[in-house]
Structure 1
């Protein structure tokens, strides 16, 4: 009896590898099935596969990768508190390109492309008004022609719900008046007046707006000719990208 029992145990041990082999083949089949599904981008079929796999293993949501073209790694937008994905950021960039193109078409059609420049980088869209397009020299009151230009460009500026930052700049010619003792006050007044105008006239939410004056200290050209000084006398409307807005939100705020 003991010899028969020993032979029976040996027989069981020899066949046990089949269980592991069957598990391995099953898992290998699932892997190739997943790879095949990923090669043919079909979100519905992929979701069905994912659900079926989840039913089998009980952990499909953690083992099956997201379907191609589906939502990618999420990032949090500090400015709005909403979650943006890589795909959403790419869509935002594409939207920026469309807005930039429309703005450029407008400035060219109105003959403003020499004094109103539209640029785009990773921080968003920067609309630069140089010379006396918006403000007369030494003044911070919006001119009538400025209001017309802003009215025409507002649909483009406001076609995406991103933060707007207004920056005022001057040339290096000193100003000393009772209202503007220096270029600091002049550049800041121009920025804040435009911020207030956009808020009051076009009902842009104040939370989206910010303004800053930089005086003469951020020139884009040498202050050596009348033409170059006109370039430095500028106001910039910046449509911030989500990434730039998040970076702004993370900057330490001054304590009152």
Structure 2
């Protein structure tokens, strides 16, 4: 009877060996949760920046690295100024160089006009968009004709030699007439006469092989861009002209400069 009692007490004893691995597992999980929590709170800002960077890159925008590159020390000599400020400074320098170029060219042409007694036939004007050399038609063409006079080739050569010093500017040669209709075997209208005159004078300029034809264009305006009153002989004479315009690449706030040659 006593033997049976001892056997029953042995069967009621439970096996607790599973508690060891269970406690180890719980300890590991607790440690993992502590680490994750610590990372999520301490580096939340960094995770946000990384998330934003990935999102921006995938969207094709500017990432965090690009943003950081534009927010460096503003006094840094290499990346010190914002790009817009650098562009503004460079543009100002280019405008200044352009102004100096055109003023120098204008001075040379005015000197040529003075030395050759051409004040009644040529003039120059420097404004916000261009330097304009205005040449009276009587200095270049016979009346009602577009063939350049032989003596006018000397003038064209002188102008072309001065233009070659400034090869980076676009040149527009434009022809203008008065409002008196023209009817002859060559031209049916002032449109055609003005266009032919501009083209023929441009061809003479481009005999200078140092000039780039890609920089040149010719256009005829007919009677539709007058500079004087067509109701008088004097006004019509002023309107019959060829203009050689050296075009600015950068608009300037400099006021128009028109100094007549003396």
**Bin of the TM-score, shorter chain as denominator length:** 0.5 to 0.7
Deviation at 1:215, TM superposition (A): 0.5
Instruction: Give the aligned partner of residue 192 of structure 2.
Output: 185
Q: 2:227 aligns with which of 209, 212, 220?
A: 220
User: How many residues of Structure 1 are paired with residues of Structure 2 in the alignment?
Assistant: 177
Q: 1:157 aligns with which of 163, 166, 169?
A: 163
Q: 1:138 aligns with which of 126, 144, 148?
A: 144
Deviation at 1:203, TM superposition (A): 5.0
Q: 1:97 aligns with which of 88, 93, 103?
A: 103
Instruction: Kindly indicate whether residue 220 of structure 2 is the aligned counterpart of residue 207 of structure 1.
Output: no
Deviation at 1:60, TM superposition (A): 8.9
Deviation at 1:66, TM superposition (A): 7.8
Deviation at 1:194, TM superposition (A): 1.8
Q: Quick check: which has more Rg, 1 or 2?
A: 2
Instruction: Kindly indicate whether residue 128 of structure 2 is the aligned counterpart of residue 122 of structure 1.
Output: yes
Instruction: Kindly indicate whether residue 119 of structure 2 is the aligned counterpart of residue 113 of structure 1.
Output: yes
Instruction: Kindly indicate whether residue 94 of structure 2 is the aligned counterpart of residue 88 of structure 1.
Output: yes
Going from structure 1 to structure 2, the CA distance change for 1:60 and 1:172 (only over 3 Å counts) comes to closer
Cα deviation 1:144-203 (Å, max 9, x = unaligned): 121111112222222112010000000111111121001000000011112222234445
Instruction: Give the aligned partner of residue 15 of structure 2.
Output: none
Deviation at 1:204, TM superposition (A): 2.4
TM-score, length of structure 2 as denominator length: 0.61
Instruction: Kindly indicate whether residue 73 of structure 2 is the aligned counterpart of residue 63 of structure 1.
Output: yes
Gaps of 5+ in 1: 1-57, 76-83, 245-256
Q: 2:178 aligns with which of 171, 177, 200?
A: 171
Structure 1 window deviating more from structure 2 (165-174 vs 187-196): it is 187-196
Instruction: Give the aligned partner of residue 74 of structure 1.
Output: 87
Assess if the C-alpha contact under 8 Å between 2:190 and 2:222 holds in 1.
yes
SS state at 1:86 partner: helix
Which structure exhibits the higher relative contact order, with contacts defined as CA atoms closer than 8 Å and separated by 6 or more residues?
A: 2
Q: Aligned partners of 1:180 and 1:141: how far apart in 2?
A: 12
Q: Aligned partners of 2:134 and 2:93: how far apart in 1?
A: 29
Deviation at 1:65, TM superposition (A): 5.0
- Runs of 4+ aligned structure 1 residues displaced above 6 Å come to none
Q: Aligned partners of 1:115 and 1:240: how far apart in 2?
A: 22
Assess if the C-alpha contact under 8 Å between 2:178 and 2:236 holds in 1.
yes
TM-score, length of structure 1 as denominator length: 0.63
Q: Aligned partners of 1:136 and 1:125: how far apart in 2?
A: 26
What is the aligned-residue RMSD (CA, Å)? 2.5
